[in-house]
Amino acid sequence: MKKILFFLLLLLPVTLWGQDLQRSVEKADSIAQAYADDKEIPGMSVSIYKDGQLVFSKGYGYADIAAGIPVNPSLTKFRIGSVSKTLTAAGLGVLIEEGKLDPDQIVQTYVPEFPVKKYPLTVRQVAGHLAGIRHYKGSEFMNIFSYPTVTDGLKIFKDDPLLFEPGTQYSYSSYGWNLISAVMEGASGEDFLPFMKEHVFDPLGMNNTVPEWAKQDIPHKTKFYIWHDAESKNVEAPFVDNSYKWAGGGFIGTTEDLVRFGKAFFNYDYLNEETQLELMYPQSTSDGESTNYGMGWSTLTHNDKTWKGHSGGSVGGSTMFMINKEHKMVIAFAINRSNAGFNGLHFKLADAFLEE
């Protein structure tokens, strides 16, 4: 892969950065560049926030290989995949905090048309992948059909039986978050996408995070790629329409917007402490085993440090987002290729800034 064609770093004087920070920035750049070269990544954006400032924000490679358009971390929109769940969880938190939604109510409280199953299932269980709702099957991940509303997206799975009694097992389900978006519509009386814009994206200044309408021309949207083994090169990914899963994997955005989102959780101006705990604290199965997953937030540990966040995989996209509250740090990177394989990149970048 060619060396970086586009470079963007926050322009702060070296005297303000300090030599330690400068070395960390150089190390992070070396780590990211080595990863991009080794993996032959078509395009990648990396943004890192620490102690009140955006300390690193850089684009590697191309948003569009054929056109030679470089990645710009301020503008290039990537498919963020399941990181959409964490953004949606913020909207869920808004409704919990306003008293409009009780996560321990059964889902039919807010979506009465959702079929009653063998066992009742609560909003909290659905949001924590404990409800027994199935994940993708067959070719569903490669969907090409448009689903104009959240209710339309429920049709894919709503009549299927639960996989198990809710609470007894953890089983990851993006479709569960389709149901969460319907719950949010029922609780708020608003359509899901306008609600997210008004109550999450706009308040946090996330002006470059939007739903991906497949046939709509969206400014600065990257091309999407897959690795073609036979040719040993990146080729454009097949067409997909992600409107069937807005809440669980349908948003696109920039890594700098993910930083704006993450830093909102370092204080309690946007969501209070109790609400943040509701979302982030890991749930447990009925036998007491932790799932390391709250409602839209995973818990990760590395070098005795606790991180909260989510990874994302989509057709033509691989994304990682995580925050560390102790060090007030956000790491976000996005790649415009499927199944990139992170090789611990997120923790290597963290170590560049946190190693003693």
How many structural domains are present in the chain?
1
Q: b/e string for 223-245 if b means 16 or more Cβ within 10 A?
A: bbbbbeeeeeebeebeebbbbbb
**Token pair for residue 103?**
């996560």
Q: Work out the pLDDT band at 356, boundaries 50, 70, 90.
A: low
Question: Which residues lie below 8 Å from residue 279, measured CB to CB, with a gap of 6+?
Answer: 89, 90, 92, 93, 271, 294, 295, 296, 297
pLDDT of residue 37: 98
DSSP per-residue codes, 158-179: TTSPPSS-TTS-----HHHHHH
Q: How far apart are CA 177 and CA 297, in angstroms?
A: 13
Query: Backbone phi, then psi, for 276, in 5-degree steps?
Result: -60, -40
Find out whether 73 and 59 touch, Cβ atoms under 8 Å: yes
User: Mean pLDDT over residues 232-260, rounded?
Assistant: 97
pLDDT of residue 8: 41
User: Mean pLDDT over residues 257-277, rounded?
Assistant: 98
Flag whether 53 is in a domain: yes
Q: Work out the pLDDT band at 1, boundaries 50, 70, 90.
A: very low
User: Mean pLDDT over residues 302-330, rounded?
Assistant: 97
- Distance from the Cα of residue 344 to its chain's centroid: 17
Instruction: Give the residue among 257, 286, 223, 287 at the shortest CA–CA distance from 66.
Output: 223
Q: Work out the pLDDT band at 243, boundaries 50, 70, 90.
A: very high
pLDDT, tens digit, 9 for 90 and up, residues 172-208: 999 999 999 999 999 999 999 999 999 999 999 999 9
pLDDT of residue 85: 98
Find out whether 296 and 283 touch, Cβ atoms under 8 Å: no
Find out whether 204 and 266 touch, Cβ atoms under 8 Å: no
Flag whether 286 is in a domain: yes
Q: Among positive and negative, which fits the CA dihedral 308, 311, 312, 318? A: positive
Flag whether 176 is in a domain: yes
Is the predicted pLDDT of residue 14 greater than 50, yes or no? no
pLDDT, tens digit, 9 for 90 and up, residues 253-266: 999 999 999 999 99
The residue type of 184 is: M
Instruction: Give the residue among 243, 81, 110, 281 at the shortest CA–CA distance from 180.
Output: 110
Is the predicted pLDDT of residue 3 greater than 50, yes or no? no
pTM, rounded to two decimals: 0.94
pLDDT of residue 70: 98
Find out whether 327 and 339 touch, Cβ atoms under 8 Å: no
pLDDT, tens digit, 9 for 90 and up, residues 19-52: 889 999 999 999 999 999 999 999 999 999 998 9
**Tokens 């007030």 belong to residue:** 328
Q: How far apart are the first and last CA of the chain?
A: 32
Flag whether 121 is in a domain: yes
pLDDT of residue 5: 38
Cβ neighbours around 318 below 10 Å, total: 25
Q: Work out the pLDDT band at 332, boundaries 50, 70, 90.
A: very high
Flag whether 30 is in a domain: yes
Question: Which residues lie below 8 Å from residue 197, measured CB to CB, with a gap of 6+?
Answer: none
Instruction: Give the residue among 5, 6, 53, 58 at the shortest CA–CA distance from 27.
Output: 58
Q: Which residue has the higher pLDDT, 17 or 164?
A: 164
Flag whether 318 is in a domain: yes
Is the predicted pLDDT of residue 87 greater than 50, yes or no? yes
Q: Work out the pLDDT band at 311, boundaries 50, 70, 90.
A: very high
184 sits in which H/E element: helix 174-188
Q: What is the DSSP-derived secondary structure letter of residue 199? A: I
Instruction: Give the residue among 266, 345, 315, 254 at the shortest CA–CA distance from 59.
Output: 254
Residues in the chain: 356
Q: How far apart are CA 174 and CA 136, in angstroms?
A: 8
Q: How far apart are CA 164 and CA 286, in angstroms?
A: 12
Q: Share the mean pLDDT of the chain.
A: 94
pLDDT of residue 248: 97
Flag whether 2 is in a domain: no
When mean pLDDT is compared across 10-24, 65-79, 110-124, 230-244, the lowest value belongs to: 10-24
- CATH for 54: 3.40.710.10
Is the predicted pLDDT of residue 9 greater than 50, yes or no? no
- Domain membership of residue 163 as a residue range: 14-354
Q: Is 312 left (phi over 0), alpha (psi -120 to 50) or beta?
A: beta
Q: Is 8 left (phi over 0), alpha (psi -120 to 50) or beta?
A: beta
Q: Work out the pLDDT band at 12, boundaries 50, 70, 90.
A: very low
Flag whether 155 is in a domain: yes
Q: Is 232 left (phi over 0), alpha (psi -120 to 50) or beta?
A: left
Q: What is the DSSP-derived secondary structure letter of residue 197? A: I
